[in-house]
Every structure is written in structure tokens, then in C-alpha cells.
């Protein structure tokens, strides 16, 4: 399996994985809607936020977003945030998700991050167990406020 920066051609596969998850609300736009391409371009141009894909045999089998945040906590060190982690349903339970997360951990360390954090929907209990097996700890209770 290879992890690489997502390209514009990967966008339909990424969006299908995100929208097949029942915990992710679909905004009912088509995968070819230009707002997604604009978002991908903006993220990659930022230098601190990017979408990656995991590829096996030339096929996109997983995706995640990695965001590096700088703040005043932890002596101002950067902190990595992992979001929208998905493995295509037909490729689950093969160890690919663990490989993908280990890549994100390595990349976060390479960037000098002092911590890698993530959130997962409360209903995704198997995902929570998966992350705990990889060394993540439950440290905070997250809250969200919808603005639209």
C-alpha cells in the first residue's frame, strides 16, 4: 500500500468513501460538484492541511485529511489533527487502515508535531476500538456547534 497526496482525479473515489458512511451527513451534491475541487485545491495550497489517499494496485482504497495546527499550548509546538479517515468497504479488515494511520503518525512526527489527535463519531464504536489498539487514548469529550 502506498500513501500519497490526493490529486483532483482521486476526488470522486474520496467522496464516495466519505458519503457511504452513515455517520457522515451527505450534503446531496454530486461528487463532481465544483465546491469539492475548490476545497481540495485550497487545502493543498495552505501548506498545513491536505487530503491523502491510500492506494493499492493502482486503486484508491482509503483516504484521510491531515491538518497541522500551531497554537500556544505545548510550548508552541505544532499539533496534527486527523480527520475523515475512511477505508473503502470492500478493503476493510486487511490491515490497510492501520498502515494508513501509522503513515499519518510518521508524517506528524516528521513535521515536528507533539501530538496527533482525532475525533470519531460516537456511533462508530468499532472505529474507536481500532484507534485505541493503535495507541490513541480517550482524553477529551468533544462538542460541535452547527453553524449552517
Helix 34-46 vs helix 11-19: crossing angle, to nearest 10: 100
Q: pTM, whole model, 2 decimals?
A: 0.89
Residue 103 pLDDT level (bands cut at 50, 70, 90): very high
What is the C-alpha to C-alpha distance for residues 18 and 22, in angstroms, rounded to an integer? 9
19, three cell numbers: 458519503
Residue 60 pLDDT level (bands cut at 50, 70, 90): very high
pLDDT at 24: 55
pLDDT at 25: 57
81-112: b (≥16 Cβ within 10 Å) or e? bbeebbbbeebeeeebbebbbebbbebbeeee
What burial class does residue 9 get, using C-beta atoms within 10 Å of its C-beta: 0-12 exposed, 13-18 middle, 19+ buried? exposed
What is the C-alpha to C-alpha distance for residues 66 and 49, in angstroms, rounded to an integer? 6
pLDDT at 117: 96
Q: Is domain 2-133 given the CATH code 3.10.310.10 in the classification?
A: no
Q: How far is CA 37 from the centre of its chain?
A: 17
What is the C-alpha to C-alpha distance for residues 55 and 138, in angstroms, rounded to an integer? 29
pLDDT digits (tens, 9 = 90+) for 25-49: 556 566 778 899 999 999 999 999 9
pLDDT at 73: 81
133, three cell numbers: 489498539
- Residue 54: strand, helix, or coil: strand
| Pairing outcome for strands 59-70 and 78-87 | antiparallel
Amino acid at each position: 500500500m502506498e500513501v500519497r497526496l490526493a490529486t483532483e482525479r482521486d476526488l470522486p473515489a474520496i467522496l464516495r468513501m466519505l458519503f457511504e458512511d452513515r455517520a457522515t451527513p451527505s450534503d446531496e451534491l454530486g461528487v463532481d460538484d465544483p465546491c469539492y475541487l475548490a476545497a481540495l485545491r485550497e487545502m493543498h495550497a495552505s501548506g498545513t492541511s491536505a487530503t491523502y489517499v491510500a492506494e493499492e494496485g493502482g486503486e484508491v482504497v482509503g483516504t484521510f485529511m491531515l491538518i497541522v495546527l500551531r497554537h500556544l499550548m505545548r510550548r508552541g509546538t505544532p499539533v496534527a489533527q486527523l480527520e475523515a479517515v475512511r477505508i473503502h468497504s470492500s478493503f476493510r479488515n486487511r490491515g490497510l487502515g492501520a498502515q494508513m494511520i501509522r503513515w499519518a503518525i510518521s508524517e506528524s512526527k516528521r513535521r515536528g508535531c507533539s501530538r496527533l489527535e482525532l475525533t470519531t463519531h460516537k456511533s462508530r464504536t468499532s472505529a474507536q476500538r481500532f484507534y485505541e489498539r493503535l495507541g490513541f487514548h480517550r482524553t477529551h469529550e468533544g462538542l460541535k456547534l452547527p453553524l449552517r
